[in-house]
Every structure is written in structure tokens, then in C-alpha cells.
Chain A
Amino acid sequence: MNKGNLEKQFADHIIKNKERYYRLAYSYVKNVDDALDIVQESIYKGMSSLPSLRNPAYFRTWFYKIVVHTALDFLRQKNKTVLVEEEVLINSDSGTCDTYQNIDLSRALDTLPAKYRTIIILRYFEDLKIEDVAEILDENVNTVKTRLYTALRKLRIEMVDDDEKGRICHE
């Protein structure tokens, strides 16, 4: 495939799927301007490494990976504390009975550490295969599976079933 053709396909792919990439970027930074910045920077990176990509069939996995890395770099550099790290989550869990007025589902997702949240997003919301999620996150398939189960378990803790009337107990 010649260079111009690959660039054209890349551009078409990005324009068509821009909202997917934006949403993923936004899930990390929770801020419109920063998310746009990440999308923009990812496109530059993608274009510059396009020659190393042989098969346009991998565009999606490959570009998700770029977006994830760019977002993580961005957070590291900006030193933003938008993400709640796992340790914080564990520490804030008092282990006794907590009362919740009304659990906001999206907040439940937001309180998941990024490495769990991204797996949920990519696997269930973007319908990617476990193998592709592993590729995007540079992890092996088993690690991703384990994290996926952990993430689901954590979400179940965060969410209250309707019949429990806003009260949840855990050890």
C-alpha cells in the first residue's frame, strides 16, 4: 500500500470514529479542553508512526492505544488528581455499613481506578475483544481478564440494587 493511500484511510478512519476517541480521552481527563488536546496530539503521533503500521485493519486497536498512552502521559505531566487511585479507594472503604442516598451510576464508574475503568469501557462500551483490550493496554490476556472481573466486582460494590433501598453493607 502506498503512503498517500494509507494516510487517506487513516484520515477517513479518524474522522468517522472521532467521537469514540474523544469519549475515551474524556474519560481520563473529565475536561473538554484537555480531551481535545489529547485527541489532537494523538493524531499527530498517529500520523508520524503511520509508516510502521502495515495493516489498516488494525487502525482501531492501534489508535486506541495511542489515545490511552497520550492520556496517561498527559495526566502524569499535568499532575492532575482526577483519577482516584486504587489505594485511596481501599483506604476510604471503612469496611462498615455505609449509607448512600442515591448512587449515581456514572460516578461509580468514575471512582474506579483508570486501569479498571478503561477495561470496562473498551470491552463493554466499545465492544472490543479481550485480546484487543490486552494489546491496547500492553498487558497479557489473563491480567486483563482478572482486572475485568475485579472491575465488575468493584462496580457491584459501588452500586446498590433497587430493593436494598440505598443501604449497603460490606466487610
Chain B
Amino acid sequence: MNSNHLDQLKQEYMSTPIPRELDFVVRKALQKSRHKSPFDKIRIAAASIAAALALVTVGVNSSPVFAQALAEVPVVGSIVQVLTFRQFTVREDNFEADIKVPKIQGLENKDLESSLNEKYLAENKKLYEEFKAAMEEGKEKGGGHLGVGSGYEVVTDNDAIFTVKRYEFTVAGSSDTKIKYDTIDKKREILITLPSLFKDDSYVEVISDNIINQMKEQMASDENKVYWLDGYVEEFQQPFERISKDQGFYINADGKLVISFDKYEVAPGYMGVVEFVIPTEAISDILVGNEYIK
């Protein structure tokens, strides 16, 4: 082959069409992974709520007066609800957005209610602004397509707890999905965090070990399932070793703890969002109580 042919091949290769979405996909991926620091602000909030809950537990056990006082607090029942506060819709040629902002209503604890609602509004505003910026850039350069969407769903609503699931997805050629949960104790009107459910930090290890075993079992019985576990990943990749202290979770209708991972968090993209139900036996020794998890 003469070098002329090689040059020609190179030119063809270099002229592989670059989709408009590439820049957005790259920036979004970089931003998401960069913000996934194991130590962030949520941790601090989680810790203080855990401390408050511990105080309540101690109070009930140690003081009859305190227990009495607590019993007289009227039970709110199931009037907590979530509705669509605002909806943004954009439909233009190749750009679509359908953003639903949820709003929690019916809590007596207005601080909690407004802090959740403010958080929902801020998250969705950010999504909308990112979409708008990408859309304007796409139009300017001509071409490209982008879709974003967000919404919510009530996962669990029983006498004790109320869980709202929020999802956010971006489609720009490839797609990405993020899922978040908020679980509210309806009687005490506090936000339940993962650390607050357990006596101490040992839950991170107990739950992680359980999940790793479940991953191994699934991989052994179904060759289409792949998780990034030690021994199964390339050297350049960090295997899944443990959940973060404030890993996404919810308590399902059967009262079981479910741990959730975003797309790409512990498995290749085609596995999507993955969830693991943690058997209650595995964690019963370290649970603060059996009020929520059964």
C-alpha cells in the first residue's frame, strides 16, 4: 500500500461526523462525576437529623413524662401529599423538555416542608437552565437534539412513612438517569436518612457486603448481568466496594430497605438504574428499631 492510501484512510477517519450532542454529553458526565464526592453537605444534615432522632429514642426510653408527651402529639395520618407545583414544557424541533416540579403538602412541620420544596424547585431549575443553555448553543451551531425530563412518584405511603421518588433524565444521543428519594416519617415529621435508621456506621459495611453477594449471585446465574466488582473490572477502574453513607434508598411497601444506584454508578450503562432489596435479617441487629423496616 502506498502512503497515499494511508493518507486517504486517515482523512476518512478524521472526517467521522461529530454529533452536536458530544459536547453536552461530555460536560454533563464530567460535572456529574466531579460532584460525586463522598463527603458533601447532605452528610452533615443527615448527621444532625440522626442525632435528633437518637435524642427522641433516648427520651422515650428514659422518661415516662416524655413518653406521655409524645403519645399526645396528634398523629397526622396520611394527609401528606405531593402534587405538581410547576411544569415546564418545551417542544421545538429537536429540543424537548418536560420538567415537573413536585411539591409536598400537608406537613405540620413547615420548615421541613419548605426546605424539601425549595430543594425540588432548585434541582429542576438547574435542569431547565442547563437544557436552555444547551438548546441555545445547539441552535446557534445548527443541529443537535436534546431531551430532558423530570418527574416524581409516591413509592410508599403508609401509616408510618411517605416516600417520594424523583427522577431526572437526559437524552442526547445516549441517555442518563438520576433517581433520588426522600422519605418522611409521618408521625414525627422528620426526614429519614440512611444513617438515622442504624445504631452506628457499621451499616455501610453490612449493606455493602450484602449487595456484593447479591451482585455475585446475579452474575453467576445470568451472564447478561455485569456489575463492577473487584476481580471483574479492568485495572483502570475502581470496583464497587461500598455504598456511600447517604446512598439513595427507600423503604418499599413490604417494609424492606431498598438501596438504589444511578446509571453507571456500579454497572455499565446498559444495566441502567439498579436496585437491591436488603433482607431485613441481614440488618436487624444494627437497626435502631423496627418501626419502618420490617
Contacts and interface: CB of A to CB of B under 8 A. Distances in A.
Interface of A: 7, 11, 14-15, 18-19, 22-23, 26-27, 32-37, 39-41, 43-49, 52, 62, 65-66, 69-70, 73-74, 77-78, 105-106, 108-109, 120-121, 124-125, 152, 155-156, 159
Interface residues of B, number: 40
* Most chain B C-beta atoms within 10 Å of own C-beta, residue among A11, A15, A43: A43
Contact of B268 (A33, A52, A77, A152): A77
A134 B272 CA distance: 32
B174 A156 contact: no
A155 B237 contact: no
Contacts of B28: 40
* Most chain A C-beta atoms within 10 Å of own C-beta, residue among B5, B26, B172, B173: B26
Interface of B: 1, 5-6, 8-10, 12-14, 16-19, 21-23, 25-30, 32-34, 36, 172-174, 176, 224, 226, 234, 236-238, 264, 268-270
B18 A22 contact: yes
A36 B22 contact: yes
Contact of A40 (B9, B13, B29, B234): B29
Contacts of A37: 173-174, 269
A66 B236 contact: yes
Contacts of A23: 13-14, 16, 18
A48 B174 contact: no
A57 to B, nearest CB: 16
A52 B234 CA distance: 13
A118 to B, nearest CB: 11
Contacts of B224: 77
A47 B26 CA distance: 12
Contacts of A41: 264, 268-269
Contacts of B34: 7, 11, 47
A155 to B, nearest CB: 5
Q: 3 tightest A-B contacts by CB?
A: A47-B33, A36-B173, A37-B174
A133 B14 CA distance: 18
B237 A45 contact: yes
Contacts of B236: 45-46, 49, 52, 62, 65-66, 69
Contact of A15 (B26, B33, B172): B26
Contacts of B1: 152, 155-156, 159
30 contacts: A11-B30, A11-B34, A14-B26, A22-B16, A22-B22, A23-B18, A33-B174, A36-B19, A36-B21, A36-B25, A39-B25, A40-B25, A40-B28, A40-B264, A44-B32, A45-B237, A47-B33, A47-B34, A47-B36, A49-B238, A52-B236, A62-B236, A73-B268, A106-B12, A109-B12, A120-B9, A125-B9, A125-B10, A125-B14, A155-B1
A37 B175 CA distance: 7
Nearest to A121: B13
Contact of A105 (B5, B30, B264): B5
* Most chain B C-beta atoms within 10 Å of own C-beta, residue among A11, A48, A69: A48
Given A18-B23, A49-B237, A73-B268, 13 more contacts: A22-B16, A22-B22, A36-B25, A36-B172, A36-B173, A40-B174, A41-B264, A41-B268, A44-B33, A66-B236, A66-B237, A109-B9, A121-B13
